[in-house]
Structure 1
Amino acid sequence: MKLGLHLYDFHWPVGADQAGPTLARIAQTAEASGFDRISVPDHVWQSHHLNGPEREMLVGYTTLGYLCAHTSRIKLLALATASPYWAPVLLAKTVTTLDVLSGGRAWLGIGAGDYEEEAHASGLPFPALKERYERLEEMLQICLRMWQGQQGDERPYEGKHYRIGRTLNLPQSLTRPHPPILIAGGGEQRTLRLVARYASACNLRPGPDIPKKLEILRQHCEAEGRDYHAIEKTCAGAFDVGEDGSRVGELIKQLQDLAAMGIETVLGVVPHVYQIKQLEVIGREVIPAVAEL
């Protein structure tokens, strides 16, 4: 099992002028501690699960670009890109640029979007759910078209919602044939079908229904002619080892349970991550303990 660090709470007891150095220290410690990847949200407002829009939020792809410059190994992704907010060509170019500048460490993490209040209040597009899924699939097709071949497939793209006259993408991504694609969400009929059709990884909520979700993913893979084992099974989580490390055993047990359900990678939130200590404890005591799961 691999562990990734999910950064979504930027309410740190430092001034805005120290946000950059604090973020760099977190990322560098995570990399040195053996975390496989870092993910960040793609939002302009903080979630209501974390005290809502009056809480600080750093925008996703700018943050990933900063992390790219302050790390050398760790993989980088948004969890998850809110597809309604993006034009497909701009998203493909953004992820390609991150991949090139990071030396081939970018992922495209994407979903249909779920923060309606944020979108409407901020003037961002947020169509009905059916249309969001239609647009998500077309966006995936356009990104893959732009990543095809040495110089991309420049044929026009004609979809229901997007029409691209020339899908030019230069320079191409360093990761070939394209940056890995993670599709977030556990929707059984739409999201998991898109995972089977297009993705390198899924991302599920932790819980007892994970085996059911993975069995449905397996069925979609069979229908699509896709190797189920080629898709990385990931989920979100929390990595709380306690301020004194007293919860290490509890966290390892939680990760063992997820591995038994079929999860291969967990992207976790670390409480008070700016204090750094918990990252070091996880690197020293948790990551080696779960590496063979």
Structure 2
Amino acid sequence: MELRIFTEPQQGASYDELLAVARCAEDAGYAAFFRSDHYLKMGDVSGDPGPTDAWTTLAGLARETSRIRLGTLMTAATFRLPGPLAITVAQVDQMSGGRVELGIGTGWYGEEHTAYGIPFPSLGERFDRLEEQLAVITGLWATPPGETFDFAGRYYPVSGSPALPKPVQAPRPPILLGGMGAKRTPRLTARYADEFNLPFASVEDTVAQFGRVRDACAEIGRDPAELRWSNALVLCCGRDDAEVARRAEAIGRDPDELRENGLAGTPGEVIEKIGRYAATGSQRLYLQVLDLADLDHLELVAAEVMPKV
């Protein structure tokens, strides 16, 4: 099981704090540093120092790290036009030497759209727009050098694009899709994704949704083994129960609830639960770290959990 670090900077984090976490994760041996793409804190809206832009952050980290992979869970399709987003991701891929991954979704948090003047259409339209965005982004990246790209979209028509710049990774940076949608999410995953991610889902729900995505792959003749399968879970690990409780209190959660719904407990408990997700076919875990000042948390898991999973 590959372990990756996943952060939620909209809850209040500066770029320097994110850089410290990314460097700690890299030094400790984690495979990737991912961040959410949100512009408003969930809950109390204070959230000093305020949000940081996901792709601006990743561009900085691309130059200040050397090995760890970098990406989003998930970039909101409502935030950016697909052509400029394809350019941005390709440029950050170049800046990182080919270490970028694009997680993208419909966008779901209506309040942040209202707070920053971003249109927020209906869910059906957001899925329509996401599908066109995926077609445009992958089409631009796949266009051979010297040729142009056209797309007759309803929302994002493209004509005569030189489809530049190109990312470093070939054929493209990995694309992640995810969520519990029963119909369109599996279909879009089968057609466009390199990885399918389930955030904060139980083992039972993981089995069911992975099955839907595998069925969608079969419908279009795609081998589901071409996909990577992953989960994201809140992390709360401690050397003993007292340390687990302290870390749970620091993020405003109950230890027992986290043991049930997250990845919580002593290293032995965490290893056991990781095994349950591995049995579903999950190959990667994104460990949602909510207390970004607690770098010992990352180092503990790297030392006591990572070698055994």
TM-score, normalised with respect to structure 2: 0.86
Q: Per-residue deviation at 1:23?
A: 2.3
Change (3 A) 1:153 1:222: farther
Q: Which amino acid aligns with 2:211?
A: E
Q: Is 1:27 the counterpart of 2:46 in the alignment? A: no
1:212 corresponds to: 208
- Report the Cα offset of residue 184 of structure 1: 2.3
- Cα offset, 1:158, TM superposition: 1.0
Letter in 2 for 1:26: V
Q: Indicate the residue corresponding to 1:236 in structure 2.
A: 232
Distance in 1 (CA, whole Å) between partners of 2:10 and 2:93 is 24
What's the secondary structure of 1:209's corresponding residue? helix
Matched, 1:143 2:137: yes
Match of residue 72, structure 2, among 74, 78, 86: 78
Q: Which residue of 1 aligns with 2:301?
A: 282
Question: 1:169 offset after TM fit, Å?
Answer: 3.0
Aligned residue identity for 2:45: P
Q: Which residue of 1 aligns with 2:106?
A: 112
Query: Which one-letter code corresponds to 1:220 in the other structure?
Result: A
CA shift, 1:10, in A, is 6.0
User: Where does residue 203 of structure 1 map in the other structure?
Assistant: 197
1:54 corresponds to? 46
Q: Is 2:282 aligned against 1:263?
A: yes
Q: Give 1:174 shift.
A: 0.5
Distance change in 2, residues 1:159/1:33 (3 Å)? same
In 1, distance between residues paired with 2:146 and 2:71? 22
| Structure 2 runs not aligned, ≥5 long | 245-264
Question: Following the alignment from structure 1 to structure 2, what is the Cα–Cα distance between the partners of residues 153 and 232?
Answer: 31
**TM-score relative to the length of structure 1:** 0.90
Q: Partners in 1 of 2:287 and 2:98 — Cα distance?
A: 23
Equivalent position amino acid for 2:86 in 1:
A
Contact 2:9 2:52 (C-alpha < 8 Å) held by counterparts: no
Q: Secondary structure at the match of 2:104?
A: strand
Tell me, yes or no, if the aligned pair for 2:234 and 2:288 is still in contact at 8 Å. Answer: yes
Answer yes or no: is the 8 Å Cα contact 1:196–1:217 preserved in 2. yes
Asked if structure 2 preserves the Cα contact closer than 8 Å seen for 1:157 and 1:167, the reply is: no
SS of corresponding position for 1:249: helix
Q: Which residue of 2 aligns with 1:224?
A: 220
Shift of 1:271: 4.2
> 2:3 — aligned with what?
3
Alignment partner of 1:177: what SS? coil
Q: How well do the aligned residues superpose, as a CA RMSD in angstroms? A: 1.8
The letter for the 2-side match of 1:139 is Q
Of stretches 244-253 and 203-212 in structure 1, the one that deviates more from structure 2 is 244-253
Q: In structure 2, what is the Cα distance between the partners aligned to 1:153 and 1:46?
A: 43
Does residue 124 (structure 1) correspond to residue 118 (structure 2)? The answer is yes
Partner of 1:37: 32
2:271 is the counterpart of 1:252: yes
**Deviation per CA, 1:229-274, whole angstroms, max 9, x where unpaired?**
1111111102211275872112111211111112111111124232
Segments of structure 1 that go 5 or more residues without pairing to the other structure are none
What displacement does 1:152 show? 7.2
Partner amino acid, structure 2, of 1:258: Y
Q: Which residue of 1 aligns with 2:258?
A: none
Pair 1:26–1:252, CA change in 2 (3 A): same
Once the two structures are aligned, what percentage of the paired residues are identical? 34
1:69 positional shift: 1.6
229-238 or 244-253: bigger deviation: 244-253
CA distance in 1, matches of 2:146, 2:94: 15
Shifted more, 96-105 versus 256-265: the winner is: 256-265
| Superposed structure 1 runs of 4+ greater than 4 Å apart | 9-12, 243-246
Distance verdict in 2 for CA 1:103–1:40, change over 3 Å: same
The count of corresponding residues between Structure 1 and Structure 2 is: 282
Alpha-carbon shift at residue 79 of structure 1 (Å): 0.8
